[in-house]
Amino acid sequence: MSHTPGSRLPQREGEKIDRKAHISFLWSNKRIQAFRGDTIASALFAAGERVFSRSFKYHRPRGLYCCSGHCPNCMVQVGRTPNVRSCVEPVREGMDVKPQNVMGSLTRDLLQITDKVGGPFTPVGFYYRTMIHPRRAWPLYERVLRNVAGLGRIDKHARRAGRFDMEHRHVEVLVIGGGRSGIAAAEIAAGSGHQVLLIDELGVEDGLHIPGVEVIAPARAIGIYEGKLVPVEAGNILYRIRAERIVVATGAMEQPLLFPGNDLPGVMLPMGARRLINDWSLKPGDLAIVIGTGSEGLAMADDLTGAGVRVADLVDLRSRMPKLHARGSKGRLAAVGIDGYEQECDLLVASGGRQPNYSLLAQAGGVIEYDPARGIFVPTILPEGIEAVGSVAGEMARGAVPAATFSGAGGAGKSFVCICEDVTEKDMKRAIAEGFEGIELAKRYTTVTMGPCQGKFCHLPCIRMYAQQTGTDEATIGTTTARPPWSPVSLGVLAGRGIEPREQTSLHYSHLAMGATMMWAGSWLRPHSYGDAEAEVKAVHHALGLIDVSTLGKLLVIGPEAAVFLERMYPNKFADLKPGRIRYGVLATDGARIFDDGTIGRLSENVFYVTTTSTGAEGVLEWFEWWNAIWQLDIEIFNVTGALTALNVAGPRVRELMPRLTDLDVSNESFKYLDLKHAEVAGVPCILLRIGFVGELGYEIHFPSPFGEYMWDKILELGADLGIRPFGVEAQRVLRLEKMHILAGQDTDSESNVLEAGMPWIVKWDKDDFVGRWSLEEVQRRGLKDKLVGFEMANRSIPPEGGQIVLDGSPVGRVTSCRWSEEVNKVIGMAWVPMALAEEGATLSIKVNGSVKAATVTLKPFFDSEGSKLRS
Amino acid sequence: MSFLIPCPHCGARDVSEFVSRGEVTQRPVEPPSFLEVAVYLYFRRNVAGPQREWWYHRRGCQTWFLATRDTRTNVVTEVELPLEFEKIP
């Protein structure tokens, strides 16, 4: 029996190859010729290849089996992508295809030794029982196991292989499956005026054309999720299809027979043999035996004869239940034994009948029950809006032949229940003997049904075997839970393209032009520095600095009850805040947990201007809106974060700059610290806020974003002779740390409250109820446990954020911020410490790189502790 | 979680557009006992069945509303704007 190149038949009607279009590709560095319309597997088969892969555990040779993209037998590595099903992957010019899970070559795999001698040492579940002692040898065991078992290899250094995208779709009717029933359903739905989408897993580009129906093919439904959501994988696109009605037409799958040698190359399912002949005009073998049920077996035999294959024997399982075994030679099928009589052959087309592919229906919540009359599991009750048509609904001449799939076994050798995971009949029996009697337990213990085919070829045989071994029936054993994915899907498709929302201020390009290093602050991009953060700090302290603070959240709270609302939201008072004045506020939950902070300025009697942290605008808006949904106060809240650009100009020379920009009197007498004024700056109407986050005398200028670049350039131009410098987030962090101004979310976490964060002055107990009040009362009653304090290092080592504060060898606190400050001439920081250590001058022991360094507690700001500069 | 929520303004939308604040709770009235505060902060009824919940259409109209959702099936049977929500002082 010879397998010579030349399996290709003369041109046949209906073939899917274009014999005029030649394509060539590499297979194990050997050039293979193919036609357009070929898949990798069909081209290789035409070139004489019969072994396509080595099995998962025993490294047995495996050949084409289903040829429909379901079984694991034809999986290969294409370029850097492992586990490509070569039977459905179209050939492309120059593609580099290699076998996987092989040491040596496909025909001489050194690891085949596991099949010959490994049996007694590698029974089912061996990895739960062996290779446990000695424990230190595990890394060695692991390395060996990972080399021996598995499906392909991932290139750890590989980059994204391609661009993956997600597309959201909404349709009235989604039809899954483009077989006869699926097409009929789509036609009927489209005919009655519905918007219809049909997906088919094998459809080719020029395949399906149904009037009024959109077709996506080849595409595979991964599952049916709640809300009739169907993710569909179509190459590099994941469609997320939301359907009002779903018609499942996934058909039925031919089921393998269990007998020794049932995995040899040359043993095929009818669907595989049929595709070789009809789609690619390939002769699947020379001498064949057909085992089937009724007319389906006859039809198969006819197809084979038509392709020039001699059919040595045809067994109809309905009339005869033979003992089967297959004998191999040189890793291929050589003979089939039927009731002890061996017949030489190189092809065995065998099927135990068809089982509906109900998995998607079960995922959607359908009830699946065993029909003993037909020997198959069928959907009986379906959820509203989900329908099943055709074979999947059990509409077929006859179902599977129950007994044939199991009790026909005869002869010696391995009989595989699951070809994906190399689980044998013996393994299953052993699992039952060990007490794994339920089908769900058996699945987890033996990994049967958990391989690439997702149980398409092993679920039913496995249930039948269990029924027979335990003396029950299929209905009693039941099915395992159907879960996505129904078809294997690459991780890239699920991950999609890396699309992150990104916010940039109106000054983004000005920053880039000035050489800023940008950093992420939530979804914002902000300048980290413009090259020299230390010089930027120095400029603010000794001349002038300018920073873009547009990322601050900005909300307008407007209405007659705005003050009442804010009094309830914040622990401090706002009713007494005069128009034109600003107050710092901290937002906390009813559990008193700090989650944001900012300033609140009163623009007029009924209008408040609230700022939040850079990442807090959306959260604070949501929080405000939620409370007002409950309270229904007469206010409106507007998010003006993007509409307004905000700059902070600060430094000792700011009063020299301001008169060049505005006519407003900026003397300390008429524009005091924490005042807010409307004014024209450089001709632009602005809100000016005298706030000092960075510790030096300064002004925040808020104005319409379209003027952003103009204002930025103008201020830098007019301040040039005063030594003005733009500064970034890094400089700002040093400056604010010198003042011990907290960063909510950095110096505080979900356990922090304002009392322990060292801001007891903010809480006004003499006002009505506010959010967080009761919990703060409880904190006060039980006494403070920890406190947020400042510290100065004794030397120049800088503890990391999160660094441990230790007391008698145990961790008692942690560092939240730490920087070198040129101005203070020390390493300064903030930390949470127990109350016992929260005393001015107390000594802290802080872990830095494994050693313990000393620091001194400071309760007052490191720089300008009295705040005289801010008020000057 | 991939169910649809009928937003009172926008109609049926994917749940991923919304955020939930969980079941509707009653904030105690002043001055509450320690137990009342603890129950309000940390205890939920966690029913298996229809539950009245707060939902916010974050990626849509940015409105808070009340939805009655069956926690077993994720079917939202009723949505209402909180206009009639009991005013809590």
Residues of chain A with CATH 3.10.20.440: 18-115
pLDDT at site B86: 57
Query: What percent of chain A clears pLDDT 90, i.e. is strictly above it?
Result: 65
Name the minimum distance, in Å, from the CA of A210 to any CA of chain B: 30
Contacts of A624 in chain B (CB under 8 A): none
Residue of A226, A768, A778 to mutate, testing the B interface (most B Cβ within 10 Å of its Cβ): A226
> Strands, DSSP E only, in A200-321?
213-216, 220-221, 229-234, 237-248, 252-254, 267-268, 287-292, 310-316
Q: How would residue B77 be classed by pLDDT, with cut points 50, 70 and 90?
A: very high
Choose among A226, A621, A774: nearest Cβ to B37.
A774
CB burial readout A174-206, b (16+ within 10 A) else e: bbbbbbebbbbbbbebbeeebbbbbbbbbbeee
pLDDT one-digit tens code per residue, A5-29 = 568 999 998 898 999 999 999 999 9
Residues 6+ apart with CB under 8 A from A779: A592, A753, A755, A756
Task: List, by residue range, all CATH 3.50.50.60 domains of chain A.
Answer: 162-249+354-397
Question: Cβ–Cβ of B89/A591 closer than 8 Å?
Answer: no
Tell me the C-alpha distance between A467 and A370, whole Å: 12
| CATH code that applies to domain A553-639 | 3.30.70.1400
B88 pLDDT band, cuts 50/70/90, is: very low
**A567-578: average pLDDT:** 95
Helix (H) or strand (E) holding A278: helix A270-280
Domain limits, CATH 2.40.30.110, in chain A: 785-872
Nearest CA in chain B to A618: B58
pLDDT recorded at residue A3: 41
Each residue's pLDDT tens digit, A148-191: 666 777 777 877 767 899 999 999 999 999 988 999 999 999 99
pLDDT at residue number A213: 92
**Do A591 and B41 make contact, defined as CB atoms within 8 angstroms?**
yes
Contact B40 A778 (CB under 8 A): no
Residues in A lying within 8 Å of B, measured between beta carbons = 225-227, 229, 242, 590-591, 618, 621-622, 625-626, 629-632, 768-769, 774-775, 778
Specify the CATH number for A508-550+643-735; select among 3.30.43.10, 3.30.1360.120, 3.20.20.140, 3.40.50.2300.
3.30.1360.120
Comparing A625 with A396, the larger pLDDT belongs to: A625
Where residue B8 falls among pLDDT bands split at 50, 70, 90? very high
Give the pLDDT band (50/70/90) at residue A533: very high
Q: Would you call B2 an interface residue with chain A, using a CB distance cutoff of 8 Å?
A: yes
Task: Spell out the CATH class of A162-249+354-397.
Answer: alpha beta
Is pLDDT of A131 > 60? Answer: yes
The tens digit of pLDDT for each residue in A626-674 reads 999 999 999 999 999 999 999 999 999 999 999 999 999 999 999 999 9
What 3-state class would DSSP assign to A480?
coil
Q: Which amino acid is at B86?
A: E
Domain with CATH 1.10.10.1100 in chain A: 415-483
Is the minimum CB–CB distance between B59 and chain A shorter than 8 Å?
Answer: no
Q: Tell whether the model's pLDDT for residue B87 goes beyond 60.
A: no
| Chain A residue whose CA is closest to B81 | A629
According to the model, what pLDDT value does residue A1 have? Answer: 36
Q: Among A44-53, A202-211, A472-481, A571-580, where is mean pLDDT lowest?
A: A202-211
CA distance A287 to B9: 69
Mutate to test the interface with A, among B41, B42, B43, B75 (most CBs of A within 10 A): B41
Q: What mean pLDDT, rounded, does chain A reach?
A: 90
Nearest to B74 among A226, A626, A631 (CB): A226
Sign of CA dihedral A397, A402, A406, A411: negative
Q: What is A415-483's CATH superfamily? A: BFD-like [2Fe-2S]-binding domain (1.10.10.1100)
pLDDT of amino acid A466? 87
Q: Output the CA–CA distances (angstroms, integers) from residue A544 to A207, A407, A654, in the order listed.
A: 71, 90, 6
Q: Do B58 and A242 touch (CB under 8 A)?
A: no
Alpha-carbon gap, residue A179 to A215, rounded angstroms = 12
Chain A: residue whose CA lies nearest to B28: A774
For Cα atoms A107, A111, A117, give the angle at the middle one, nearest 5 degrees. Answer: 115
Position A143 scores a pLDDT of 76
Q: What residues does CATH 3.30.70.1400 cover in chain A?
A: 553-639
pLDDT band at A207 (very low <50, low <70, confident <90, very high): low
Our CA angle for A691, A694, A699, nearest 5°, is 35
Cβ of B48 under 8 Å from any chain A Cβ?
no
Tokens of B19: 């955020």
The pLDDT value recorded for residue A4 is: 45
Cβ pair A630:B83 closer than 8 A: no
pLDDT for A666: 94
Check CB contact under 8 Å for A769 and B89.
yes
The answer to whether domain A785-872 has CATH 2.40.30.110 is yes
Q: What is the ipTM of this complex?
A: 0.95
Residues of chain A neighbouring B1 (CB-CB closer than 8 A)? 226
A25-48: average pLDDT: 94
Mean pLDDT of A63-90: 90
* Contact yes or no for B89 and A621 at CB 8 A: no
CB contact under 8 A, B3 and A618: no
Identity of the residue in B14, B32, B83 whose CB atom sits nearest the CB atom of A774: B32
Q: List chain B residues with CB under 8 Å of A778.
A: 34, 37
Residue B37: strand, helix, or coil: helix
DSSP A31-52: EEEEEET-BHHHHHHHTT----
Tell me which DSSP letter residue A678 carries.
Answer: E
- The Cα of A228 is separated from the nearest Cα of chain B by a number of Å equal to 8
Domains and CATH numbers, chain B: 4-84 (3.30.2270.10)
| Phi–psi pair at A399, nearest 5 degrees | -90, -150
pLDDT digits (tens, 9 = 90+) for A467-476: 888 888 889 9
User: pLDDT digits over B34-46, tens only?
Assistant: 999 999 999 999 9
Tell which of A769, A778, A780, A782 to mutate to test the B interface (max B CBs under 10 Å): A769
CA distance A650 to A544: 6
* CATH number for the domain whose boundaries are A18-115: 3.10.20.440
CA distance B70 to chain A (A): 13
* B23 contact residues in A (CB cutoff 8 A): none
Question: Residue A273's pLDDT is what?
Answer: 95
Q: What are phi and psi of A74, to 5 degrees?
A: -105, 15
Q: Which residue has the tokens 């069945």?
A: B49
